[in-house]
Chain A
């Protein structure tokens, strides 16, 4: 094998490289990731025992190889699997966190697909969020359909699709908080694109799962994965953190400054955001206010990349995320401790 190849890696790069997320957000990402990996190691130990290491390593390699299998989709491009939900359905959410972490680490180190400093954030997006959102959606939809095979497949589709939507929303918020992409553009663009990519992910997850269900139903052990209650708290924390980061800037004391900048931004943002054929009332643009575009989620929010307000937004967002996340992890730990006590009595 030649030492350095000029051609791009076979699977298209899909993780963010260094430089696109702010340093402080990246460090917060690493802290959250390390805590989650620690929790995942503790939670999976009882589930799989010493078998877990070869199993998770080889399943990680299979997810990686599975990501290389393309299928043609309309528009001349090809789609492929990401696999977080599939891994979580088969192995349970905690084991899936470890598998997906290994996948992101290998892709970042060996293939330079994803930066090293931002690796924590990439693991959160590609591993932690997809595993938990996918798994819980799957469980709940499946229960809704009384655990039938159809319900299982519907749950897998919904889980895989939703996991991509949520993770793309997170990525957009992270880009906006880092000052790389304005929220008004990043959020609708990322969520919009991923609501289509998510269909591919959903279909692949469903067909892969139905194949496994037909050939080795005994492998679907994720059903009995422990630490589900704890995992539920983590999911709640993640979603709360997203909600807070999305809406915190509206309550920011710097909103005057933000609005001033938003005024300057109004016209270009409007052009960028408005879908083709969507007429923008001219007065609205001149008033510095956005039109009633269906994508306007945060009308007055624009992330400035210069000045104090930018730093304050980043810090505020990060603190919010960390507090909520810390609470969730704390609750998760408490729940597990209580469970252990119940078992011992």
Chain B
């Protein structure tokens, strides 16, 4: 069944929720950048960064367990780094029993480091979106000089995403209800071309409906005075207190980076 499983900001009203979205966006990016710059194998620093994320989660009253659980969605990508274990240089720790591939110690360290860094980074992104409404984030993006046209396109996409996902769900329910198969027969009873044609036409019809909807939306906007430029509320002054609060996690992470580079 198709359903959108995205993050909504939690209801709580904590210091992290109230922080200026521009500060939060930059802090999240800085934390991900610092995590990325961490040397390979600095496991102490990874644990400290992880603790920092969990501390933020607790301050924001977001369940740390759920943050971790949700971040595990990146694990399938570890497959890209797993090859390092068997292609890395000596010393070898052991050999795989059946294939005899040697397990390289530096390769293993590198692979585990990539996965850890990736988990910490996605946790930072989860905390950002769990404490900030998406529209606020878009507003922060445009006041950080991301081209206004792009931000406007993204905000339109966000606005109609759920509507079109429902439409896709209805299309796929209709397909399923018309393609019953006798119990026991394989799902792939019809040819691949047949199945691709059905799905392709569904996508085509989704696009035609999207086009027609955008024509109606455009006309409605035009009648309400749309001139082509997205309307924007002037951003409020950036409060120095927010900047200072934002500096705390960044400084902690940066000093962790400095320490692990020196050691």
Chain A residues in contact with chain B, CB under 8 A?
1, 3-10, 12-13, 16-20, 22-23, 26, 37-38, 41, 49-66, 68-74, 79, 81, 83, 86, 90, 98-99, 101-103, 105-106, 108-113, 115-117, 175, 179-182, 185-186, 200, 203-212, 215-216, 219, 261, 264-265, 267-269, 271-272, 302, 304-306
Q: A5 vs B130: C-alpha distance in the bound complex, in angstroms?
A: 11
The total of interchain contacts (Cβ-Cβ below 8 angstroms) comes to 338
A sample of 13 cross-chain residue pairs with beta-carbon separation below 8 angstroms, ordered by A number, consists of A4-B130, A12-B76, A13-B76, A17-B118, A19-B117, A58-B156, A58-B214, A65-B168, A72-B187, A111-B5, A112-B122, A181-B81, A215-B205
Known: A6-B69, A61-B160, A185-B83. A101 touches B150 (CB 8 A): yes
Interface size on B, residues (CB 8 A): 111
User: Given A6-B66, A102-B154, A180–B81 Cβ distance below 8 Å?
Assistant: yes
Looking at B86-94, B234-242, B247-255, the stretch in contact with chain A turns out to be B86-94
Q: A19-B119, A179-B110, A180-B81 are in contact. List 20 more A-B contacts (CB 8 A).
A: A9-B4, A9-B73, A10-B4, A37-B150, A41-B149, A58-B157, A61-B157, A64-B161, A66-B203, A66-B207, A71-B195, A72-B195, A106-B161, A110-B134, A111-B6, A113-B73, A116-B29, A117-B36, A175-B80, A204-B196
Output the least CB separation between B76 and chain A (Å).
Answer: 6
Partner of A203, one of B87, B121, B196, B226: B196
Return the 5 tightest CB-CB contacts between A and B, nearest first. A57-B156, A207-B200, A211-B204, A50-B228, A19-B118
Counting CB contacts under 8 A, is B230 at the interface? yes
* A5 close to B70 (CB less than 8 A): yes
Tell me the complex Cα distance, A8–B7, Å.
11
Report whether over half of chain A's contact residues are helix, strand or loop; otherwise say mixed. Answer: helix
Q: Which of A4, A65, A209, A305 contacts B167 (CB 8 A)?
A: A65
Contacts of B77 in A (CB 8 A): 13, 16-17, 20
Q: With the chains together, A277 CA to B95 CA distance in Å?
A: 21
Q: Which of B64-108 contact A (CB under 8 A)?
A: 66-67, 69-71, 73-74, 76-77, 80-81, 83-84, 86-90, 99-102, 104, 106-107
List of A residues within 8 angstroms of B203 by Cβ: 66, 69, 81, 83, 86, 204, 207-208, 211
- Beta-carbon contacts of B189-220 to A below 8 Å, as 1s and 0s? 00011011111111111111111011001100
- Report the nearest A residue to B205, measured CB to CB: A211
What are the residues of chain A within 8 A of B153 when measuring CB–CB?
Answer: 52-53, 56-57, 60, 98-99, 102
Check A112 against B210 for contact (C-beta < 8 Å): no
Q: Which A residues touch B188, using CB under 8 A?
A: 72, 74
Do A65 and B115 touch (CB < 8 A)?
A: no
